[in-house]
């Protein structure tokens, strides 16, 4: 078998069964091998940001890596922004990046670029296979690197001749190592912090906002009276009825400062001391008060659930009823104008059990998480890296990982435009994704940020750079262009009706909300 086939077999033998692709000439042998070897689902993206974001979403929901197939340096470059997001989310991905044949590189053909250089800022692990016989072993190493907790970006560069030359058989990645346990000292220090008088909190991130970990956190809160905080963003928060609810640290610096101002002790669980998303003139970067002391129970790659259980034991909280458990109390369906509170209430009232919400509604989205607390249990995914264009691709990955669950992608119109090609993949794969586009026809968040950074009031030229009008984007036409059904809502009753229709239908459905 050739190198490409040895790699495909290595991936499949290492439990990689999804390959998201945007191939070119130098990847044709890999495509041929995908064809020949059964066991790999292949999903085509029409832009590489779709490809890498899909792999991110898949990892968040499946807890195991997918592979991507990308074409040379520029193809990888197009996927970098969503690799940045995946890297920050701790999502494991195996990138297979084609490269010119080794003998062709010296001639500086048009597509020649420094592939490893392109990969470096967004990869934890990079290797270029030297010969066809190395490819299988390199592939196994890439899978092992991608699986390393919490998940890593592994980029394997595959020169065309290492794909087409004769290789040995496949290899298999070593089994996933269990997450490392935290030290007893870390547990005792955290317990000591939570036994102190005064305002204190557990700040949860990473795997600590999954259901089981949250139950332990809820018991600890019941015992110690600490607040349960979550980082503003998380790869996957499990929430809704029956789950322990946490409060996100707000995006807006002044709101975050106000929420945290009295805290004296914070125990970090797969989280970092809160920091502003951006810096602003005259405002601090660190959001907790200077007097606040942090202790780390668990780093993001450690076994956070066991750490919380151990902390609960240390505090004698094992038998406590967890605090802050949300109940199933969805609001009645509201009517009237499309206010954000109203949209959130429609969402809360309509959300089916086990929905997966991918939140990239940016300025509109900040108000949506709170009101959906007391609804059916669901997962809520946000961007960990802040690079716009993560939402639609992550929704694809979530739908591929969980075909029996409904995915709801909440998108700003500005953000949806970065990777709108994702709509086509949703249509081709008949994915159950409801896309809600908040069509405010502006980079609304930037209109706020313009003032926040002290730049005054925008004039005409600046306003033009912050608005998406002239012409207005027609989201129904964009959906149709990609083969996706759509509807539009101008009020809450219309939104409720469209949402019902979208959730009932098989395959993707886009709702344009004229907010």
CB-CB contact of 501 with 488 (8 Å): no
Per-residue interface string for the shown chain with its own copies, residues 113-152, x marking contact by CB under 8 A: xx--xx-xxx------------------------------
3 state SS for 82-151? HHHHHHHHCCCEEEEEEECCHHHHHHCCCCCCCHHHHHHHHCCEEEECCCHHHHHHHHHHHHHHHHCCCC
| Rounded Cα–Cα distance for residues 297 and 17 (Å) | 35
Tell me how far, at minimum, the Cβ of 441 lies from its own copies, in Å.
11
Distances (CA, A) of 446 to 36, 126, 458, 467: 49, 36, 10, 9
Strand ranges of the sheet holding 18-21, from the earlier edge strand across to the other edge: 41-44, 18-21, 66-71, 93-99, 153-159, 125-128
Q: Return the bridge partners of 293, or none.
A: 265
Among 63, 88, 301, 320, binds its own copies (CB under 8 A): 88
Structure tokens at 345: 């209430």
Tell me how far, at minimum, the Cβ of 503 lies from its own copies, in Å.
21
Q: Does 483 bind its own copies (CB under 8 A)?
A: yes
Among 218, 371, 385, 393, binds its own copies (CB under 8 A): 385
Distances (CA, A) of 488 to 220, 383, 432, 498: 45, 26, 18, 7
Q: Which of residues 402-421 bind its own copies (CB under 8 A)?
A: 414, 417-418, 420-421
Per-residue interface string for the shown chain with its own copies, residues 319-348, x marking contact by CB under 8 A: ------------------------------
Among 279, 291, 329, 490, binds its own copies (CB under 8 A): 279
Q: Does 166 bind its own copies (CB under 8 A)?
A: no
Q: Does 207 bind its own copies (CB under 8 A)?
A: no
Q: Which of residues 38-57 bind its own copies (CB under 8 A)?
A: 42, 44, 46-47, 49
DSSP string, 235-290: S-EEESTTSB--EEPPSSHHHHHHHHTT--EEEEES----B-SS--TTS-SB-S-T
Helices 3-13, 28-36: inter-axial angle, 10-degree rounding? 50
Q: Which of residues 418-447 bind its own copies (CB under 8 A)?
A: 418, 420-421, 424, 427-428, 445-446
Q: Does 24 bind its own copies (CB under 8 A)?
A: yes
| Rounded Cα–Cα distance for residues 250 and 359 (Å) | 15
Among 189, 252, 340, 453, binds its own copies (CB under 8 A): 453
- Look-up of token digits 């940020």: 449
Count residues binding its own copies (CB under 8 A): 103
Taking the least distance from each CB to its own copies, the nearer of 138 and 429 is 429
Among 219, 239, 265, 482, binds its own copies (CB under 8 A): 482
Among 178, 185, 197, 281, binds its own copies (CB under 8 A): 281
Q: Does 456 bind its own copies (CB under 8 A)?
A: yes
358: DSSP letter: E
Among 101, 181, 325, 326, binds its own copies (CB under 8 A): 101
Taking the least distance from each CB to its own copies, the nearer of 77 and 326 is 77
Among 6, 95, 155, 233, binds its own copies (CB under 8 A): 233
- Look-up of token digits 């139950």: 215
């Amino acid at each position: 078998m050739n190198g490409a086939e040895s790699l495909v077999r290595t991936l499949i033998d290492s439990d990689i069964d999804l390959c998201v692709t945007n191939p070119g000439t130098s990847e044709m042998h890999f495509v041929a091998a995908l064809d020949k070897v059964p066991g790999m689902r292949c999903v085509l993206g029409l832009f590489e940001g779709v490809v890498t974001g899909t792999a991110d979403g898949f990892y968040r929901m499946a807890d195991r890596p997918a592979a991507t197939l990308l074409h040379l340096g520029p193809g990888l470059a197009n996927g970098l922004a969503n690799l940045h997001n995946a890297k920050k989310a701790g999502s494991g991905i195996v990138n297979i990046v084609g490269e010119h044949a080794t003998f062709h590189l010296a001639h500086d053909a048009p597509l020649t670029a420094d592939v490893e250089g392109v990969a470096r800022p967004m990869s934890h692990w990079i290797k270029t296979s030297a010969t066809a016989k190395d490819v299988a072993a390199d592939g196994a190493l890439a899978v092992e690197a991608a699986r390393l907790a919490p998940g890593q970006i592994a980029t394997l560069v595959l020169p065309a001749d290492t794909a087409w030359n004769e290789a040995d058989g496949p290899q298999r990645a070593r089994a996933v190592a269990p997450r490392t346990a935290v030290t007893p000292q870390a547990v005792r220090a955290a317990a000591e912090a939570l036994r102190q008088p005064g305002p204190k909190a557990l700040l949860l991130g990473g795997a600590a906002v999954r259901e089981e970990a949250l139950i332990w956190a809820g018991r600890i809160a019941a015992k110690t009276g600490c607040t349960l905080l979550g980082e503003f963003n998380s790869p996957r928060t499990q929430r809704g009825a029956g789950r322990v609810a946490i409060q996100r640290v707000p995006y807006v610096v002044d709101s975050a400062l106000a929420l945290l101002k009295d805290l004296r002790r914070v125990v970090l669980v797969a989280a970092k001391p809160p920091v502003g998303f951006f810096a602003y003139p005259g405002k601090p970067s660190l959001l907790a008060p200077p007097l606040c002391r942090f202790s780390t129970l668990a780093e993001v790659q450690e076994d956070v659930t066991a750490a919380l259980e151990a902390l609960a034991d240390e505090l004698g909280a094992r038998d406590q009823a967890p605090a802050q458990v949300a109940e199933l109390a969805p609001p009645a369906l509201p009517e009237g104008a499309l206010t954000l509170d109203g949209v959130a209430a429609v969402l809360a009232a309509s959300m089916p059990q086990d929905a997966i919400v991918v939140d990239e509604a940016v300025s509109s989205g900040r108000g949506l998480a709170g009101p959906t607390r007391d609804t059916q249990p669901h997962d809520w995914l946000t961007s960990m890296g802040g690079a716009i264009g993560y939402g639609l691709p992550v929704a694809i990955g979530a739908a591929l990982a969980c075909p029996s669950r409904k995915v709801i992608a909440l998108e700003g119109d500005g953000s949806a435009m970065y990777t709108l090609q994702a709509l086509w993949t949703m249509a081709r794969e008949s994915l159950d994704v409801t896309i809600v586009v908040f069509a405010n026809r502006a980079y609304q968040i930037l209109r706020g940020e313009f003032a926040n950074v002290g730049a005054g009031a925008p004039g005409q030229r600046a306003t033009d750079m912050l608005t998406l009008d002239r012409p207005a984007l027609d989201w129904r036409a964009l959906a149709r262009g990609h083969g996706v059904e759509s509807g539009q809502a101008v009020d809450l009753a219309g939104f409720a009706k469209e949402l019902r229709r979208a959730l009932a239908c098989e395959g993707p459905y886009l709702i344009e909300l004229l907010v």
